[in-house]
Structure formats: C-alpha cells, structure tokens
Amino acid sequence: QVQLVESGGGLVQAGGSLRLSCAASGRTFSSLSMGWFRQAPGKAREFVTTISWSGGTAYYADSVKGRFTISRDNARNTVYLQMNSLKPEDTAVYYCAASSLRVGVSPYEYDYWGQGTQVTVSS
C-alpha cells in the first residue's frame, strides 16, 4: 500500500505560480512512477504530467507544457509540481497518483491516489 498526501494548493492570480507537493509513504517510493492529474467541476479527471521512477523521463499534457514542471526527490519520498504562468483554466482539484508500472497518461494506469488539493486561479 502507498499513502499519498498532497499540499500546496491555494488561490492565486492569473500569471502567478504555485508549487504542489506530494509526500508518499508505505512502499519504496523510488520504485514508483508518479503522476499529477486534475479535475475541474463537471469535467473528467485529466492527465497533467508524469515522471518515471528515476526522474529521467517526464511527459506533459499539451495544455501545461512549458508552464508546469514535475520533479521528484526520492530521498524525501516526494514529488513536486511547479506551476508557473497560471491561467484561470488551470483551476481544478489536483491529484497525485502512483503507479508500479512505467509512466502512463491514463488514470487507469495508476494504483494509488491522494485526496487532492484545490488550485484556484483568479482572472
């Protein structure tokens, strides 16, 4: 079992930045691929970004490419999402997820989920 706890969400003005953190426990973090997804009200959960266990491979949704950066610190069992140049359409609940498989973009490829953290971007 893996427990994931997100933090760092909040309210920010358009153009601003936030950094989300996801702390993992319960299983060897360095063996897991990690991902971030988000879900806006009335919409399906969507892929944001993912990173391999080593940190050597990362993928981004087109909507966040160039603005968001995923990273991980295996010594601290934590994955981060740096979000810059935020837009109102980035408003959503952001979820951290862990997978024992290779990096993937579908939520069905992830075994464990955090409770989510709200990000609200005002115009």
pLDDT-derived band at 101 (thresholds 50, 70, 90) equals: confident
Q: Which band of pLDDT confidence, cut at 50, 70 and 90, is reported for residue 117?
A: very high
Which string of DSSP letters, residue by residue, matches the chain? --EEEEE--EEEETT--EEEEEEEESS-GGG-EEEEEEE-TTS--EEEEEE-TTSS-EEE-TTTTTTEEEEEETTTTEEEEEE-S--GGG-EEEEEEEESSS--SSGGG--EE---EEEEEE-
pLDDT in tens, 47-96: 999 999 998 999 999 999 999 999 999 999 999 999 999 999 999 999 99
